[in-house]
Amino acid sequence: MLPARPLNQFLILRDKRLAEATREFLARGKSVVRCKDCALAAHACICSWRPTLESRSEFILLMHRDEVLKPTNTGRLIADLLPAHTHVFCWSRTEPDPALLGLLSDPQRRCLIVFPEEANEAAAKSRQLVVELPDDGKINTFVLLDGTWKQSGRMFHLSRWLDDFPCVVLPEADGRGYAVRKSHQDNYLSTAEAAALCLQLANEQIIAEALGDYFEVFNLHYLATRACVPPQKGEVHARLAQLL
Ligand SMILES: [Zn+2]
């Protein structure tokens, strides 16, 4: 059993959502004994592979309320690795959190919306697109819309308070190929992968790779949770262990 870790903003939001969740929801998947922290099966817990890192970039994770309690959610991996640099909010179209609006209007920041590539074309019609980040001392703050493809689209189009912000164009994924990903998700980039590309764009390669590795470990352990077998440890675990 690991010692309790300090709460990051995702865990605080999750506790709040758990308190609101219905009993039916909580009963789902009850047969698996899950780690309370990472929500994976106890035999596939990722908590001991989680480094705490510092970055110059920051993230605003805008989560659809349904996403917060999903064990498949990957946005939380960003808050895991960068707890001091990840701000997490439940999305509300009409009542955005004042702290969120405060971050968005902070003149020290460059807030950029990360909207998956398929939508860039549509977004370009009315939005400024950013392909590289000027080195002007502002904190690059990436706003991630964390939900299903459909939910993220709605969050993007319905949030009038996001209207004035440019969209970032992410670099191509470097083809390391997360084969396991496709077995349980769409072909779209996951939130964690999109964040890794943001870090790459911001020239934070080491942290980008660490997040990619942590995401890969998450995938392996998630599959091990589903298959009820212990996860196989590989090179990716060794790389993460060096950062612990
Ligand atoms: Zn765990």
What is the per-residue pLDDT across 7-31, written as a single tens digit (0 to 9) for each?
Answer: 899 999 999 988 887 765 655 556 7
DSSP code of 243? Answer: T
Q: Which residues contact 80 (CB under 8 A, 6 or more apart)?
A: 8, 10, 50, 214
Which protein residues have their CB within 5 A of the ion that is ligand 1?
35, 37-38, 45, 47
Distance CA 58, CA 202 (A): 10
Q: How far is the CA of 100 from the centre of ligand 1 (A)?
A: 28
Calculate mean pLDDT across residues 110-131.
76
H or E segment and range at residue 196 = helix 191-201
Of the pLDDT bands very low, low, confident and very high (cuts 50, 70, 90), residue 184 is very low
Distance CA 26, CA 93 (A): 26
Calculate mean pLDDT across residues 149-175.
86
Q: How far is the CA of 231 from the centre of ligand 1 (A)?
A: 13
Q: How far is the CA of 43 from the centre of ligand 1 (A)?
A: 9
H or E segment and range at residue 12 = helix 9-20
Please report, as a single letter, which amino acid is at residue 130.
V
Distance CA 48, CA 129 (A): 39
Q: How far is the CA of 42 from the centre of ligand 1 (A)?
A: 7
Tell me the pLDDT tens digit for each residue of 58-92: 999 999 999 998 889 999 999 999 999 999 999 99
DSSP code of 41? Answer: B
Q: How far is the CA of 14 from the centre of ligand 1 (A)?
A: 15
